[in-house]
Chain A
Amino acid sequence: MQRTAKKILLVGWDSADWKMINRLIDEGKMPTMKYLVENGTMGNMATLDPPFSPMLWTSIATGMRPDKHGILGFSEPDPNMHAIRPVSSTSRKVKAIWNILTQKEMKCHVVGWWPSHPVEPINGVMISNHYQREALDKNRQWTMAPGTVHPAELSDFFAHFRISPRELTVQHIQPFVPDYEKIDQDQDHRLESIAKITAECSSIHAAATVIMEMEEWDLMAIYYDSLDHYSHGFMNYNPPRMPNIPEDQFELYKGVVEAGYRYHDMMLKRLIEMAGEDATVMVISDHGFHPDHLRPSFLSDEPAGPAEQHRDHGIFVVKGPGIRKDERIYGACLLDVTPTLLSLLGLPIGKDMDGVPLVQIYENAPEIETIPSWEEVSGYAGMLPSEDQTDPIAAQEALKQLVELGYIDEPDENIETAIKKTVKELKYNLGRVHLGASHLMEAEKIFDELYTESPDQPRFALRLISCYMSLNKLDKAEKLIDDFYQHEVNFVTEHDIKIIAKEKMPEKLKKEGTKKEQEQWAKNKRRQVNRYHQAQSDVLLLQIYKGDLLLKQRNPKEALTIYTKIAQLSHSKQINMKVGNALMKLKRWKAAKENFLKALEYDENAVNALIGLCHSCTKLNEYEAAIDYGITAIGLAYHTPLAHYYLGEALLRYGQYEAAENAFRLAITMAPHLGQARNYLIYLYDVIQKTPEKSAIHRSYFEERGLKVKSPDDEDFEDDEDQIRTEETVTGDFKNNPIKAESEPETEDKDETPLIVKRHKTITDEPVIIVSGLPRSGTSMMMQMLDAAGLTTFTDNERTADESNPKGYYEHKAVKSLMHDASWVKDTPGKVVKVISHLLFYLPARYTYKIIFIDRDLKEVVMSQHAMLVRNGKKGAKEDAYPMNIETQFAQNLKKVKAWEKTHQNVQVLHVNHADVLTKPFEVAEKIAGFLGKQLDILKMAQVVDKDLYRTKV
């Protein structure tokens, strides 16, 4: 297998989120990330459930799900069952990337990975995740615990590069909290917390740079947990201010998270410099972190509740030799990291890995080889025997940190109780892992046991209900929903939140209690308040479940009634989606679409809303929009079979047969039980492509199960879709779950056009060439240049030349109505079309576009437009006025265009500076020819440029 990467620098930033990073890149505050994004390939990286970092980083390092790799939580009992310890490397059951590289005699260094304590004897240096935590012994000395450094002989050397929080000064803290002097540090300890986080990540960074200076490497893997810690501590103070955050506190701490990101960018710069130009650099995160209106207002009353602040998508960006530049990939999952690293290093992928190599990142994708499993490859891999012990002091310090962050509860003083609790958590997490991997039977068994043991814990009951619903055990689901609904209603009725909230600390405890006792009291009170909110939220959730149950029982009308009632009480994307789903079942496509759009307004990344929109737009014959929504959904969550299925449906109805076939095949690969996708494929092969031999395999799928093949034109096709799309059919047990009587569907928007009529022109690979920019940014001049170059322009010459544009506008009337009608775009592949920046977002997704975007000084644009309005005698346009509000709006539009560019894989953009066109026309013309990949008449292009028309200058 061909090796693409000479050496790989892998940087892990726990919790890093594109929403934060994109904003900071746009504001010029993360120049290193900007450099990586512009010179490499980036994308979202889907996380796993539960989004707990030790599990996730081990999945990243192994390419396997937690049920295989064995890391299931933050803490675990030690092997002798004498104590609770932070989860350790010895619990990992499979080889990590560093073991595989050791086996292949490649040099590999690992710093701070979670969990990597105790260190493993790999072919390189390993610094464990306990290295940076200041754990003082009885002599108040920060000793280096055994198992922190490999080779152990280097422990004293690396100990020197640790930084204590006490060593930091005001200079280090001020960038995070400029008004630190206003803080009473006796009462408010948050500055200490910032110092601790900063010292810890600086220690990791210093250890990493030492290794990079001293050693050669094939893989250098460094993990920083600090963004997660800054975010858990201070994201609630990030702008915009949350309603429950007092103004003064907001003002003090609003810049902490931003400063944390900027500091990481600075550290990354240093790593990239040290790695050198020939290194492949990959920066990843295990999940995101809500920075905006989606921040939860309260956290569940359960261990690891803070993980609810995590977002489903982390970051992925890679840059290096052979990697595509300024590109975006879709559908990456953290399970894909190790397979991708192996492919970069020319090594085969284990077939037992759950991830796949991200071949889309390559300029020329290598041929991927596989082996059954790396576990079966014998030889020295630098793994530890499982009986290895952890240092108790370091372990306790790390445990303390997890307690402080809210990831785990303080271990019970009674060790037996503590172990029991911890084992329960691990079991719960394993259940969630099974649920996430659709191992429903295994998940049900676990949640059933947990619920039986602790029937008062909402999380167990709620997960068990999910299992029952997915397994189509509707009677059991109904009973549990009813029972638990009553349980939570009783809780809300029996408790008065006003009394709980007003309750003050007893005077005796206030005066005589220890600090620990007082903190415990405050903690219990917080828990009571959270439990109350949790119960309120559960009551709503259980009602939603009742609606879901009714949908499954083929009673969408009643389901809709329930959802609508809840929607009146609580606005959320979830309830809008539920309403949308019920409306879809009632075939009320327009109303369904409106509800999905509402959900999207709330969260632009709501994948299920996008999927619902894809389906409802298809039913409304709005195929272009449907394809757009489908592609966007897949971009966010590639491994969602239903998204591929609905996209396939939209593509098929639009006449994009090849693309539709691919979409259906992908849906089946991910979910073989999606029989409806097989029905579509059979239809496609038999009726459209006339290749019945291809459909045989799908026909036999139905025959084996005693099921009938259906045509999409059959009247009852949709009914089967309802059944087949549900997860219970994973078991293939259709016969035991007969469909109940159908309720009368409302036919408000019923528009069932026979499939075959909806054939359109097949998609072309030829891109549409777009000239864009703000009005008066020089787009007409660019059109002229491309016209002179010999390209065909899409114009109707209706708007003739005038004083403002003496050489003509090169416009077409149809373009102005792009927002409502994009049908004309089918006539433009290969031609040049002028589209102002405000309309770019409405270009249909099924075509590819090469966009030449003119960047002109905003003030010049505004003044030039204003001068034109004055020339045309427009009302209100005064010669000496400057419309400031217009400038602001234009700046926002340009920002939106930039974001749009990044998220659309069918779009390539060349930004051309207006001043450069005027001063260096030859150079610009050559650049454009290169971008378009066409032989153009450069001389004629350059001759068109008339500097005299550059009248408005700043």
Chain B
Amino acid sequence: MEENISEKNQHIGENSSICYEMINMMYCRELDFTDENGRKFDVPHEGSLGLLAMGHIGLIEWRKSRKKYMQERAKTAKEKTEE
């Protein structure tokens, strides 16, 4: 979060592929979310208003968590079908 990515992307307006690169880079960041008492917590796949209030980082982490959940669910379903 503290990382200044604007320095790394001086020419962000040049074309769309750079846009996707930037989005990708944001998704690759590993962020820890903590509650008011400083305790880490897992981002719920259902999301929350608290996450949305964090702005883009909350949105990204929620979408990542949701994607992971969906993939796991699909995997479990597939395994069950195979069984």
Contacts and interface: CB of A to CB of B under 8 A. Distances in A.
Nearest to A161: B56
B53 A205 contact: yes
B55 A210 contact: yes
Nearest to A205: B55
Contacts of B53: 205, 263, 266-267, 269-270
Interface string A150-186: 0101111100110100001111100100000000000
A153 B44 contact: no
A156 B24 CA distance: 12
Contacts of A157: 12, 19-20, 22-23
A265 to B, nearest CB: 9
A133 to B, nearest CB: 17
A214 interface: yes
Interface of B: 1, 5-6, 9, 12-16, 19-20, 22-23, 44, 46-50, 52-57, 59
A248 interface: no
Contacts of A155: 19
Given A163-B52, A214-B12, A263-B52, 13 more contacts: A151-B13, A153-B15, A156-B19, A171-B44, A172-B47, A172-B49, A206-B55, A210-B56, A214-B5, A214-B6, A263-B49, A266-B53, A267-B52
Given A153-B19, A170-B46, A172-B47, A163 B6 contact: no
Contacts of A154: 12-13, 19
A215 interface: yes
A232 B4 CA distance: 40
Contacts of B13: 151, 153-154
A161 B20 CA distance: 12
Given A153-B14, A213-B5, A175 B19 contact: no
17 contacts: A161-B56, A161-B59, A163-B52, A169-B46, A169-B47, A171-B47, A172-B49, A206-B56, A206-B59, A207-B56, A210-B55, A214-B5, A215-B6, A263-B53, A267-B52, A270-B53, A274-B55
Interface in A254-270: 263, 266-267, 269-270
A791 B47 CA distance: 59
B4 to A, nearest CB: 8
Interface string A197-213: 01000100111111001
A171 B48 contact: yes
Nearest to B20: A156
Contact of A209 (B15, B48, B57): B57
A215 B22 CA distance: 14
Contacts of B59: 161, 163, 202, 206
B47 to A, nearest CB: 5
Contacts of B48: 171-172
Contact of B47 (A151, A161, A168, A269): A168
Nearest to A201: B52
A215 B6 CA distance: 7
Which residue of A168, A205, A207 has the most chain B CB atoms within 10 A of its CB atom? A205
Given A154-B12, A160-B23, A171-B44, A213 B56 contact: yes
B12 A266 contact: no
Interface residues of A, number: 34
B60 to A, nearest CB: 9
Which of A160, A263, A267, A270 lies at the interface centre, i.e. has the most chain B CB atoms within 10 A of its CB? A160
Nearest to A176: B49
Nearest to A271: B55
A175 B54 CA distance: 17
Contacts of B57: 209
Nearest to A168: B47
Contacts of B47: 168-169, 171-172
Given A157-B12, A215-B6, A209 B49 contact: no
The 3 tightest CB contacts between A and B, nearest first, are A209-B55, A266-B53, A157-B19
Interface string A216-227: 100000000000
Interface of A: 151, 153-157, 160-161, 163, 168-172, 175, 198, 202, 205-210, 213-216, 263, 266-267, 269-271, 274
Nearest to B54: A270
A170 B46 CA distance: 8
Contacts of A214: 5-6, 9, 12
A209 B12 contact: no
Given A154-B12, A215-B6, A270-B55, A171 B19 contact: no
Nearest to A215: B6
A678 to B, nearest CB: 55
B33 to A, nearest CB: 12
Nearest to B7: A214
A591 to B, nearest CB: 53
B46 A171 contact: yes
Nearest to B5: A214
A299 to B, nearest CB: 30
Nearest to A157: B19
B49 A175 contact: yes
B6 A205 contact: no
Nearest to B52: A202
B38 to A, nearest CB: 15
Contact of B52 (A151, A172, A208, A213): A172
A168 B54 CA distance: 15
Nearest to A208: B55
Nearest to B2: A213
Contacts of B12: 153-154, 157, 214
Nearest to B15: A153
A207 B16 CA distance: 17
Contacts of A210: 55-56
Most buried by A among B13, B22, B59: B59
Chain B CB count within 10 A is highest, among A214, A267, A269, A274, for A214
A170 B48 CA distance: 9
Nearest to B1: A213
A203 to B, nearest CB: 9
A210 B57 CA distance: 8
B76 to A, nearest CB: 20
B56 A153 contact: no
A215 B20 CA distance: 18
B11 to A, nearest CB: 10
B69 to A, nearest CB: 11
A649 to B, nearest CB: 51
B16 A156 contact: yes
Nearest to B6: A214
A269 B47 CA distance: 19
A157 B52 CA distance: 18
Contacts of B50: 266
Nearest to B19: A157
A930 B45 CA distance: 52
Nearest to B44: A171
Contacts of B9: 214
Contacts of A216: 6
Nearest to A207: B56
A271 B16 CA distance: 27
Contacts of A208: 55
B41 to A, nearest CB: 14
Nearest to B50: A266
A175 B52 CA distance: 13
Which of A157, A206, A263 counts the most B-chain CB atoms under 10 A from its CB? A157
A524 B39 CA distance: 56
Given A153-B14, A168-B47, A172-B47, A205 B52 contact: yes
A156 B13 CA distance: 10
